[in-house]
Amino acid sequence: MWLLLLLCSSLNATEVYQWFDEDGSPVFADQPVDTTAQPVQLSPASNRYLFNVKRVSDGDTLILENNERVRLLSVNAPEISSRYREAESGGIAAKNWLQAQLKQGQIYLQYDNEQRDRYNRLLAYAWSVDGTFLNEQLLKQGLATLALQPPNLHYADELIAAQQQAIQQQAGIWGDKAYQPRKVSSLDETAYRGWHRWRLAAKSLSQTRDYWVLTVDNKVSVRIAKKQQKLFPVMEEYLNKPLEVRGWMSKRGDQYRLFVQHPSAIIVLD
């Protein structure tokens, strides 16, 4: 704590180094104590740190100079092609846009409650050196979709509003034929993969130990973790109404499941 106070009070007085401990938490000091330590600069904005960027991996992922992989929080850009998958429509556009914002080779990062994901990537909000909030702009321009993941909700309101603007303007993927809503009746072995907008109606409500289960039919259900229940309206409000559920569907046996972490992914249609 004393070090953070010192950093805030003497922002320009000394060089600051950062590395990560065994738990993945950032450590700061005025000397490069660890062999992986990298110099960073504190931004005047609270808890933002300046890093050098080696390259952009895709529209929501970049690699820092110290080889740390950073996943931009709360956004999901279309995939680009790799040996594991085919390119998704809009993936190259998102990557090119992000590269253009980082042409100076530096970026400000800010963490939320969780600093790493299960792949050990850093999770962060990002700003270009000219102050552009990159997570927000990716959504506002329709280059990515909203993917809020509690407890990382610090900028939830701003990001929800950014996506809503893109939807209203049919910007980017929202005007792209590949991202138009699909009926769950179109499900098959290949059509369920990837991020989609699913049109459905939940006929009944049940629960397991960990989830509320909105059952659509004998093969499809929407699952909401009970630990996130306080973020959602009363579950019965979703029953017998036309819904658009946005996200990734998983398949287990002959059952298809949509796991929803935040109410912004469920839209009650008129």
Catalytic residue list: 71, 79, 121
- The neighbouring-strand residues paired with 255 are 252
Lookup: tokens for 127: 């700003």
- CB 219 within 8 Å of CB 186: no
Lookup: tokens for 259: 């796991």
- CB 225 within 8 Å of CB 208: no
CB atoms within 10 A of CB 123: 20
Amino acid type, 156: A
Residues across the chain: 270
Task: Report the distance separating Cα 79 and Cα 246, nearest Å.
Answer: 16
Q: Is omega for the bond preceding 39 within 30 degrees of 0, making it cis?
A: no
- The neighbouring-strand residues paired with 107 are 51
- The neighbouring-strand residues paired with 127 are 108, 133
